Structure 1
Amino acid sequence: MSYGPRRRTRLLQLAAGASLLLAMTGCSGGLAGGGGGGGDDGDGPISFGMLAPFSGSESAFGAYMQNGAQLAVDELNADGGVLGRELELVVEDDACDATTAVAGANKLVTEGITASVGGYCSGATLPTLPIFDEAGIPMVIPAANSNELVQGLPGVFLINGTGTQQAAAAVQYAEEIGATTVAAIDDATSYSADLAASFVEQAGDAGLEIAFEETVTPGENDYSAVATELASVQPDLVYWTGYYQEGGLIVRQATDAGYTGAFLVGDGSVDAKFAEIAGPGYTDNVVATFTQTPDMIEGADQWIADYSELAGEAPGPYSTQAYDAVRVMAQAIEDAGSTDFDAVVAGLEGLEGFDTFAGPLTFTDDHTLSGGGFVIVSIDPATNAFVLKDDLQG
């Protein structure tokens, strides 16, 4: 492959949530001032907006996403731009926080972006959906993947596998290792709760026994209660669907309490800091559901070199998805021959087999991928990095 350029109830809930957050942040743009059909009639740069975490515990992912997106913008501009116009990337911090994300979304709308190519944390991305929709701004979301994101808004598209697809990969892995009893632990955020619920449902359908389900509070240091429960019940596999800060602590504390089963974690925990938090010797039985990173993809050496030259460091998780989000949006605009919202949405819906890191892209009717592309990764004890373990194709 070439890596160069080339319904209703839920909507009301989203709008209500966004309105509440607008009141909290004091923003006056977005829903109130966004305006109608989207697009522009100018001949200046076409602006793509990106909300991502550039502060807080998930800030490393924001940098990966920005650099991946900027690489795509640079390549497209070197190839003549889109509709004969240059692209520019405008970024705002969402800190993986709903209130911050709403403020950032309104700022991007005020700055006149044509399209959105951001979104990492589902809980922060959800309240921005009605803001961009009201302003007539289509969205290609590169990382956030809660099923709640695709509940009927016409301009929302996901290029990361959904929670349902990730949960299916988790169940497949549980069956592959012969697990008969499983547990699920989430942190109550939209992404985590959605993934855990889907895993429990699909595991039950597959005939696996659900040993227990638990929800913890993120940001704490003591998870001894759930650790003790794991050690007592001893499920064959436990699926942690939250983020790496809490995940590393739970693994360490549960192991100390005597749990000996397999730890499976979701893609929000895939970071080298997971092993740092858990500590040496605590991650031998930890694997994760994840989409492939550049180092796992055959033929991506030149892309990695180009990214590294731009960013001054190697690419990390979601750099490729952000890169592809820009390319997908740009191709839809080019195909549409316009930046008009309806025309771009039609262009996105009309993509067939578009070349991406995850494979040929064609959107389903609900604007998700036809296949999630999830694999199983494990932790390299020498580097603490997650590396490919099982492509789930066997």
Structure 2
Amino acid sequence: MQWHGHEQTKAHFAMEYHKMVKVRKVAIFSLAVAVTMLSAGCSQGLLGSGGDSGSAAEQGPIVLGMLIPQSGSEAAVGPYMQNAAQMAVDEINEQGGVLGRKLELKVADDACDPQTAVAGANKLVTEGIAVSVGGYCSGATLPTLPVFGKANIPMIIPAANSQELVDQRLKHVFLINGTGAQQAAAAVKWITKRGAKNVALVHDNTSYSKDIAVRTQQILDEPGGPETAIVEAVTPKESDYSANVTNILAKKPDFVYWTGYFQEGGLLTRQLRQAGYKGDIMVADGAVSEKLVEIAGGEHAEGVYATMTYTPDTIEGAEGWIENYKKKFGTAPGPYSNQAYDAVRLAAEAIKRAGSTDGDKIIAALEGIDGFPMFSGPLKFTPEHTLATGGFQILVVKSGTFVLQDSLQ
């Protein structure tokens, strides 16, 4: 069952819309608008076949490419992103596609590894993709920027969010996840709410992880902020972090913020608790996964906080979308599924507005978008091609699951 296919679904979201008006969330409003557009098939939505289909050579499906981790330590996230992207492709195709052509999704493995990612990006280029809608690990996404740039392929990056992706100021790169700077600001807001005095920041020296840790430290070091106890770097993919744990605990922190991925985050959480640490533990968005809870052990993970952008189960009005995902794939959507879904929708909208699959025209269309409805709210890119607002919130592990703790509004 898709959003646009059933009157019952329309009625459900109409009810959600009226409830939304009372509860102030812009993100809910934009989601309701998006659902209305999909349900009605209105001419101003991303669907439909209006516009110039481009040159006579542009025939057959319009191909979108997605680099995601299908192997390696972060492989658990890949299926969430691929499934949601395919769900969006299927829905758009059911409404007639874009410019009278069907969409097709091509997926390649980046393994969260730079060399694997470059090979995957080159493979997607040879397969003739019009837009890249992937990118999970920043360290693996960064070396693909010149690959897609040389081919003049726009990148709509749904998850990777290191500030290094932004600082290069490349015309073809657009982020629809909050940046490292925005995540650091959200982290400090929660650290301050918790009344922490000595904060340990722990990263794995990757672009994404170190970026968040350094930016968080910079804010904490400002006058009036908590004192940073220690900045500790670990070696990823190890099984024993006891030396790091000893270094951290020697400074007697009352708050530990891990900014890397779930594999190491789970191990650190378990080893910190086993060493007797009683204070708060928080992880960044790359560690938000059921795997973290599994690796840490349920009792050790309980109460762990996380800085995280919108997930399907923390968005009011997304119940129908979640149900559709479950029916289609037999499992619940996970982290970055909604961002991957929106990346495809945004790519389709930009191609439609561009009237062709020409890279420069798509880039110009993306830059001109103002108010396009996504799960995170109405979209308008900053001059740096980032979201105007980061949309980070605080989750917490309760009964083995990450749930919403504080929206930081």
Fold match, TM over 0.5?
A: yes
The question of 1:181 aligning with 2:198 is answered yes
Report the alpha carbon displacement of residue 333 of structure 1 after superposing the two structures with TM.
1.2
Q: 1:351 aligns with which of 353, 365, 369?
A: 369
- Could you say what secondary structure the match of 2:300 adopts? coil
Output the amino acid matched with 1:330.
Answer: A
Residue in 2 that maps onto 1:26: none
Say yes or no: does 1:204 pair with 2:217: no
* Superposed counterparts of 1:93-104, under 5 Å: 93-104=109-120
Residue of structure 2 aligned with 1:193, choices 193, 210, 231: 210
Q: How does 1:106-255 map to 2 (within 5 A)?
A: 106-150=122-166, 151-205=168-222, 207-255=225-273
Find 1:68's aligned residue among 84, 96, 120: 84
**TM-superposed deviation, 1:3:** 4.5
- Tell whether the 8 Å contact from 1:267 to 1:289 is kept in structure 2 after alignment: yes
TM-score (norm 1): 0.88
C-alpha distance in 2, partners of 1:43/1:99? Answer: 32
Opposite residue 369 of structure 2, the aligned amino acid is L
Contact 2:311 2:334 survives alignment (8 Å): yes
Residues 1:295 and 2:316 are matched in the alignment:
no
Q: Deviations over 1:12-59 (max 9, x none)?
A: xxxxxxxxxxxxxxxxxxxxxxxxxx9994121100000001112211
- Does structure 1 residue 88 correspond to structure 2 residue 107? no
- SS of the equivalent of 1:212 reads strand
Distance 2:273 2:182 in 1: 29
Mapped to 1, the partners of 2:303 and 2:342 lie a distance apart of 32
Q: Which residue of 1 aligns with 2:357?
A: 339
What amino acid sits opposite 2:217 in the alignment?
A: V
Q: Which residue of 2 aligns with 1:25?
A: none
In the TM superposition, structure 1's runs of 4+ consecutive aligned residues that sit over 3 Å from their partners are 2-6, 38-41
Partner Cα separation in structure 1 for residue 401 and residue 101 of structure 2:
39
Question: d(CA) in 2 for partners of 1:280 and 1:319?
Answer: 24
Q: Could you tell me whether the CA contact under 8 Å between 1:53 and 1:96 is conserved in 2?
A: yes
Partner of 2:13: none
Task: Map Cα deviations across residues 74-94 of structure 1 (whole Å, 9 max, x no partner).
Answer: 111111211111111010111
Displacement, 1:292? 2.0
Q: How much identity, in percent, do the aligned residues show?
A: 59
Deviation of the 1:309 alpha carbon: 2.0
State the secondary structure of the residue aligned to 1:75: helix
Cα pair distance change 1:337/1:387, threshold 3 Å: same
Deviation at 1:305, TM superposition (A): 1.6
CA contact (8 A) 1:231 1:258 kept: no
Cα distance change of structure 1 residues 94 and 355 upon mapping to structure 2, 3 Å threshold: same
The verdict on how the C-alpha distance between 1:41 and 1:181 changes in structure 2, with shifts beyond 3 A counting, is: farther
Q: Is the 8 A contact 1:44 1:86 kept in 2?
A: yes
Q: Say if 1:234 and 1:260, in contact at 8 Å, map to a contact too.
A: no
Gaps of 5+ in 2: 1-31, 39-44, 46-53
Q: For structure 1, which runs of at least 5 residues remain unmatched after alignment?
A: 7-37
Cα distance, 1:283 vs structure 2: 2.2
Aligned twin of 2:285: 267
The aligned counterpart of 2:348 is: 330
Say whether the 8 Å CA contact 1:161–1:371 is kept in structure 2: yes
- The one-letter code sitting in structure 2 at the alignment partner of 1:52 is I
Deviation track 1:188-216 (CA, whole Å, cap 9, x = no partner) reads 11111111111111121252211110100
The alignment partner of 1:355 has SS state of strand
Specify the code of the residue in structure 2 equivalent to 1:131: V
Aligned to 2:329: 311
C-alpha distance in 2, partners of 1:290/1:191? Answer: 14
Deviation at 1:176, TM superposition (A): 0.6
Is the 8 Å Cα contact of residues 232 and 248 (structure 2) preserved in structure 1?
Answer: no
User: Which amino acid counterpart does residue 374 of structure 2 have in structure 1?
Assistant: T
Contact 1:166/1:372, CA 8 A, preserved across alignment:
yes
Alpha-carbon contact 1:39-1:339 (below 8 Å) kept: no
CA distance in 2, matches of 1:41, 1:204: 57
Name the SS for the 2:256 alignment partner: strand
Query: Normalising to structure 2: TM-score of the pair?
Result: 0.85
| Offset, 1:284 | 3.2
Q: Equivalent residue for 1:13?
A: none
Q: Which amino acid aligns with 1:87?
A: L
Q: How many pairs were matched up?
A: 360
Helix, strand or coil: the match of 1:255?
Answer: helix
Q: Which deviates more from structure 2 when the two are superposed, residues 58-67 or residues 156-165?
A: 58-67
* 1:176 partner letter: K
Letter in 2 for 1:190: S
